[in-house]
Amino acid sequence: MGRVHSVVLGLCSYTHDSSAALLVDGELVGFVEEERLSATKHTSRYPEAAVAWLLDRANLTAGHVDAVAYNFQPVHYLLESSAALQKAFFPATGGRALARAHGFAKVAMRTRRRTRAIGRRFPDAQVRPILHHRAHQLAAFAASGWDDAAVLVVDSLGERQTTTIALGHTGLAPRTQTLEAINDPDSLGYVYGGVTEHLGWRRGDEEGTVMALAALGDPDRFRALFARAIRTTATGFHIDPVYFPPRTLTSGTSGRRAGSSPRPARAAIRTSL
């Protein structure tokens, strides 16, 4: 191809559903999930095949890439690690506070190592870690076709944010400004994953199965339980840690608080059944 002015590679890697997208001179060349080429469902590996396919499609090499956008920022995990220590003073969360702080710090360091590893693959490119919810916001808004719009993102966890509402605006390029945010451990995605796991399916994988089955269920059956577990507030919602203990991001940490009986969420749901 002719002279290239800018080549930007976007990566979702080291988490579920690794994928890549490529923009050349502001035009989208394509985007592809790694599982479509590797045949490994929900793969979290670096999307090597997806990147190679996109660069080949544009007749480019890794040396042509000017910037790599990676969808996590290490420093924000550290902010949540510090905030986690405050939970040591509350009975419902105290038993998990240290493990939680350690887990977020560990992920921060691991994310930093991963961004450096990505940089070694593209020695002439600038690697730009992007706040996870900002990546979601921009992807949704840029595809919306609107010049201005409110953008709502609700997921399990992006660094420390779980729910954000932003203002999207199209000027010279699409951009978003976060107006409100709810941070972990208040996470509807985490609740959904916990229920999925309770029902015997894989968290972070088979929530779609639960979503499909929910259409056939009776919403009144567990209404009172979830009204206690997920309380609405003036600015959003709050997850009761008695039902859904705060996550730790540390392998081997069970769903129990230190010295507690089996996890209340499971006991409560079993009683309602």
pLDDT of 206 strictly over 60 = yes
pLDDT of 254 strictly over 80 = no
Of 174 and 251, the structure prediction assigns the larger pLDDT to 174
Of 179 and 261, the structure prediction assigns the larger pLDDT to 179
CA 178 – CA 147 distance, rounded (Å)? 16
217's CB contacts (< 8 A; 6+ apart) are: none
Mind listing the pLDDT tens digit for each residue in 135-183?
999 999 988 989 999 999 999 999 999 999 999 999 888 899 999 999 9
Return the percentage of the chain with pLDDT > 90, whole number: 64
Domain segments of the chain: what residues?
A: 133-183, 184-272
pLDDT of 272 strictly over 70 = no
Contact in structure between 157 and 190 (CB atoms under 8 Å): yes
CA 265 – CA 245 distance, rounded (Å)? 9
Q: What is the DSSP-derived secondary structure letter of residue 138?
A: H
Tokens 């509807």 identify what position?
188
CA 236 – CA 134 distance, rounded (Å)? 19
Mind listing the pLDDT tens digit for each residue in 13-59?
998 899 999 999 989 999 999 999 999 988 999 999 999 999 999 99
